[in-house]
């Protein structure tokens, strides 16, 4: 059980209490490291990422140092917390926020597997595999309470100060079409070159792109238009053709959401083929798919990659490759 809100440390205090156990992962550009550790008696995962470097002057470049000198909590929701931190003094003598920190505490074994370096495999998920094994897996994960942090946002309990756009649907249609948009926890909220936003839909019947049907095309087009309009209104230095919209499969959590990023953002693994599916391409595929209005993305093969430590690989695709019966069934 988690401690009550009255006895839990403040978000800022948690960083100093984090004790490193081992390195889970370091990216190729050495801008991000993922550490496993403990806070008290519980495991935690700390992701440290250097934000985009200030390059407007030689003095700004020289101001960079390696030691964290100040931690500023940007927000927290359920087990997730994110921060800006300082590793030096800028040319005006003020602490410079040049590190982005994400903290998951307490973390689960599944978190540890997700953030650990691992071999990945390309898999093809047929409609039958989705129906018989993957869909039941999704349902089980939803029933475990993994979406509490999403529902906290949608129901107005947390992160309301971060909401950039709250749309009630076309002509105020209500929750069927409604969505809200807010910064992704991996964005530092100031560097437009690395802009990363999320659009969370209010409806709960669409868990992933697999649930999208031909009849959803008008809604998806409305979402696209309003997301783009809302982003450039909030950040007027950006234009619509500087934005990229995509959906993950497999997603990190099974509640439909759209990623909005600056097209100049370095395309890492989360934007790679086998992970990111462009929203415009999805709309086009649904428009041209054969069948009536209920024809859907559940009716097509999808090829994507999985880490060997993921439950989908160990429980479904690994056994199928060996000709064995998957452990996850309907």
Name the residues annotated as catalytic.
257
State both tokens at 84: 């800006």
Q: How many CA atoms lie within 13 A of 292 on its CB side?
A: 1
Q: Which of 299, 297, 312, 304 is nearest to 127 (CA)?
A: 299
Q: In sequence order, which residues have a C-beta less than 8 Å from that of residue 233 and are 6 or more positions away?
A: none
Angle at 184 between CA 178 and CA 190, to 5 degrees: 115
Distance, in Å, from the CA atom of 159 to the CA atom of 309, rounded to the nearest integer, reads: 32
Local structure of 312: helix, strand or coil: helix
- Please, which contacts does 181-189 make with residues 24 or more away whose CB atoms are closer than 8 Å? 181/227, 181/230, 181/231, 181/260, 182/153, 184/259, 185/75, 185/80, 185/82, 185/102, 186/49, 186/100, 186/102, 187/100, 188/51, 188/52, 188/84, 188/97, 188/100, 189/74
């Amino acid at each position: 059980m988690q401690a009550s809100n009255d006895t839990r440390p403040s978000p800022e205090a948690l960083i100093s209490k984090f004790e490193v156990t081992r390195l889970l992962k370091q990216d190729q550009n050495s801008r991000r490291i993922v550490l496993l550790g403990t806070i008290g008696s519980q495991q935690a995962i700390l992701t440290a990422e250097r934000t985009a470097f200030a390059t407007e002057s030689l003095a700004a470049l020289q101001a960079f140092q390696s030691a964290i000198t100040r931690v500023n909590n940007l927000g927290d929701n359920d087990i997730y917390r994110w921060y800006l931190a300082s590793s030096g003094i800028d040319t005006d003598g003020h602490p410079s926020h040049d590190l982005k920190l994400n903290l998951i505490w307490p973390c689960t074994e599944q978190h540890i597997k997700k953030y650990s370096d691992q071999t990945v495999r390309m898999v093809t998920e047929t409609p039958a595999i989705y129906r018989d094994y993957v869909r039941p897996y999704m349902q089980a994960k939803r029933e475990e309470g993994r979406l509490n942090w999403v529902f906290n946002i949608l129901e107005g309990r947390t992160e309301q100060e971060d909401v950039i756009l709250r749309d009630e649907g076309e002509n105020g249609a209500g929750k069927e079409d409604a969505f809200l948009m807010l910064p992704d926890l991996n964005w530092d909220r100031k560097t437009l070159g690395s802009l990363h936003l999320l659009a969370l839909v209010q409806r709960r019947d669409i868990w992933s792109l697999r649930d999208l049907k031909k009849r959803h095309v008008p809604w998806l087009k409305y979402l696209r238009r309003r997301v783009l309009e809302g982003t450039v209104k909030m950040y007027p230095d950006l234009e619509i053709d500087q934005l990229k919209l995509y959906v993950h499969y497999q997603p990190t959590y099974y509640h439909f959401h759209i990623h909005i990023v600056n097209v100049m953002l370095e395309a890492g693994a989360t934007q790679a083929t086998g992970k990111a599916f462009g929203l415009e391409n999805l709309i086009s595929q649904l428009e041209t798919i054969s069948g009536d209005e209920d024809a859907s993305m559940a009716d097509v093969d999808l090829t994507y990659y999985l880490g060997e430590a993921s439950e989908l690989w160990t429980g479904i695709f690994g056994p199928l490759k060996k000709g064995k019966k998957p452990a996850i069934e309907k």
